[in-house]
Copies of this chain bind each other. A is one copy, B any other.
Amino acid sequence: MTTLPPLTREHCAVLDVQDPLAALRNEFLLPSGVIYLDGNSLGARPKSSLQRAQEVISQEWGQDLITSWNKAGWFQMPSTLGDQLAPLVGADAGEIVVTDTTSVNLFKAIAAALHIQSASPERNTIITERSNFPTDIYMAEGITRWLDRGYRIHLIDSPEDLPVAVNAQTALVMLTHVNYRTGYLHDMAAVTALAHRHGALMLWDLAHSAGAVPVALNAAEADFAVGCTYKYLNGGPGAPAFIWVPQRHQAIFQHPLSGWWGHANPFAMQPGFEPVAGVRRALCGTQPIVSLALVGCGLEVFGKTDMHAIRSKSLALTDLFIRLVEQRCQQHALELVTPRAHAQRGSQVSLRHPHAYAVIQALIRRGVIGDYREPAIMRFGFTPLYIGFTDVWDAAEAMRDILDSQDYDANEQRHAVT
C-alpha cells in the first residue's frame, strides 16, 4: 500500500499538458468516448492507414499491376519495413524482415537454433515458461515432435527458476520478453548472458516489447528474435510479424520453410534450393502486400519520437494507474499481478480479481476497453502514443465506481473470443 498523497483529475490534466508525446495522439483515430487500454492486443488505427491502403489498392495494384513488385517496392517491402523497425529493437539494418506470422517465424527460429546446436546432441532441452504465450510453446512442441530426436521442452514456473533450469543440456532458451498476461519484463541482457554461459542459444519473442519498451537485441547479444506488428506497433489486424537474425548468425541460419522468397535467385526458377545471403533467407512465400504496407503507417509514427521518451511516459502511466487503483480501490479484492519494479514491468498493468471477466465487461460498457485473460486477470495496456494521464484517471475512476456500486454481473460468462 502506497503512502503517496491522493491525486486528483486536475493533477492528471497538468501531466497531459506537460506531456511531450501528447501531440502524437493526433496520428491515430479512435472511437469518441473510448479509452483504449487494449493496444497490447490490437493497436489503434493510424490515420494514414486508409490513404495508404487506397494508394496500394487503386494505384499500385489497380493501375500499375505486376510492375509494382519492383516499382512500388513490394518485393523488397519485408526488408524496407524491417530496416524501419530495427532501431526500435536495437537491431541493425539488414537484420529484420517483416513477414508471415509470429508462430511461423518462431518455427523458423527454433528450427535454426536446433540446427546450430545439432553438433551437440547432449543439448536436448528447450527451456521456456509455462506462462509463455501458448503458441510459442505449441510451435516448439510441433518442431520437436517432428524432428523426433529426443528433444524435450522444460516449462519453468517462474523467471527465478531460470538459473537452475539452464544447464549443459540446454539447446535453447525461448522467452517472451514481456509476459502477455502478467506484464513481467525479463532482463534481456542478463538472461541472454545466462543462456550463453551454459552454451545455450537465446530466442526472444518481442510481441509485447516492440514499440512498448526499449529493446537492445544486439547489445544483449541475443541470438534470434521474433515479434508482432499489430500490437504496440499499430500495423493493423493480424499484420505480418517480424523475425530478427543478427548478422553474425545469418550465414548459419537454416530452417525447413525454404520457400522461393528465401532463394538466392528466386526468378531463375531453378529446382534446387539455395538460400539467399542475409536475413532474407528467413522469407518463405509471397507476402500479403496490402496488410504489409499498412505496417509502415504504424512505424512512421515511431519516427516522430524515440523509445526512451515512450518508455518514460509508459512508466509514468502505469505508475499512475497502479497508484490510483491502490488509493481509490483499496477496499476491493484487487491484486497487482504486474511487477512494481520498473525494471521488471512492461507497458501494461494486470490485476487479479475474482470477477475479473465481469468487471472487464462492465468497463467496456462504459467505454474503457481493457481485456480479460485466463485465469481471473484484467489486463490494461498503456500505449504512450495515444493514451494520456486523464485517460488513466478516468479508467481508474470507472473501475472504482463499478466495484463500489457492484455494477457488474458476477455470473456473466466468457465468450469464446474476446
With known contacts A62-B29, A256-B143, A290–B290 Cβ distance under 8 A: yes
A418: interface (CB < 8 Å): yes
| In contact, A258 and B142 (Cβ under 8 angstroms) | yes
A253: interface (CB < 8 Å): no
Closest to A145 in B: B256
List the one stretch of A34-42, A119-127, A325-333, A344-352 in contact with chain B: A34-42
A291: interface (CB < 8 Å): yes
With known contacts A238-B292, A373-B269, A417-B70, A50–B45 Cβ distance under 8 A: no
In-complex Cβ contact of A65 among B38, B66, B268, B288 (8 A): B38
- Quickly give the copy total for this chain: 2
| In contact, A45 and B62 (Cβ under 8 angstroms) | yes
| In contact, A141 and B258 (Cβ under 8 angstroms) | yes
| In contact, A288 and B285 (Cβ under 8 angstroms) | no
Residues of the B chain whose Cβ atoms lie less than 8 Å from the Cβ of A134: 260, 263, 266, 269-271
> In A245-275, which residues have CB < 8 Å from any B CB?
255-261, 263, 266-273
Residues of the B chain whose Cβ atoms lie less than 8 Å from the Cβ of A100: 100-101, 104, 285
In-complex Cβ contact of A103 among B65, B145, B284, B369 (8 A): B284
Closest to A143 in B: B256
A137: interface (CB < 8 Å): yes
Interface size on A, as a range, is 35 or more
In-complex Cβ contact of A238 among B70, B102, B147, B287 (8 A): B287
Q: Please indicate which of the listed interface residues A45, A62, A75 has the most CB atoms of chain B within 10 Å of its own CB.
A: A62
| In contact, B289 and A290 (Cβ under 8 angstroms) | no
| In contact, A61 and B237 (Cβ under 8 angstroms) | yes
Residues of the B chain whose Cβ atoms lie less than 8 Å from the Cβ of A142: 255-259, 273
| In contact, A288 and B58 (Cβ under 8 angstroms) | no
A44 to chain B, nearest CB (A): 8
A31: interface (CB < 8 Å): yes
A236: interface (CB < 8 Å): yes
Q: Is the interface of A mostly helix, strand, loop or mixed?
A: mixed
With known contacts A107-B257, A269-B374, A271-B155, A286–B101 Cβ distance under 8 A: yes
Residues of the B chain whose Cβ atoms lie less than 8 Å from the Cβ of A145: 256
Residues of the B chain whose Cβ atoms lie less than 8 Å from the Cβ of A69: 417-418
A193: interface (CB < 8 Å): no
Closest to A153 in B: B271
With known contacts A54-B50, A62-B45, A237–B74 Cβ distance under 8 A: yes
| In contact, B45 and A287 (Cβ under 8 angstroms) | no
With known contacts A104-B285, A288-B292, A289-B236, A57–B49 Cβ distance under 8 A: yes
Residues of the B chain whose Cβ atoms lie less than 8 Å from the Cβ of A305: none
A63: interface (CB < 8 Å): yes
A415: interface (CB < 8 Å): yes
Give the distance in Å from the alpha carbon of A62 to the alpha carbon of B34 in the complex. 12
Give the distance in Å from the alpha carbon of A166 to the alpha carbon of B69 in the complex. 38
Give the distance in Å from the alpha carbon of A62 to the alpha carbon of B28 in the complex. 9
A178: interface (CB < 8 Å): no
A-B contact pairs, 25 of them (CB 8 A): A34-B65, A36-B65, A38-B66, A42-B66, A50-B54, A101-B285, A102-B285, A102-B286, A103-B284, A104-B259, A104-B284, A134-B266, A134-B270, A135-B259, A138-B263, A141-B258, A146-B256, A147-B147, A236-B289, A237-B290, A238-B286, A238-B289, A238-B292, A267-B374, A269-B373
Apart from A30-B62, A139-B257, A141-B272, list 13 A-B contacts with CB within 8 A. Answer: A29-B62, A36-B65, A44-B65, A57-B236, A103-B286, A104-B257, A107-B257, A146-B146, A146-B147, A146-B256, A236-B289, A238-B292, A267-B418
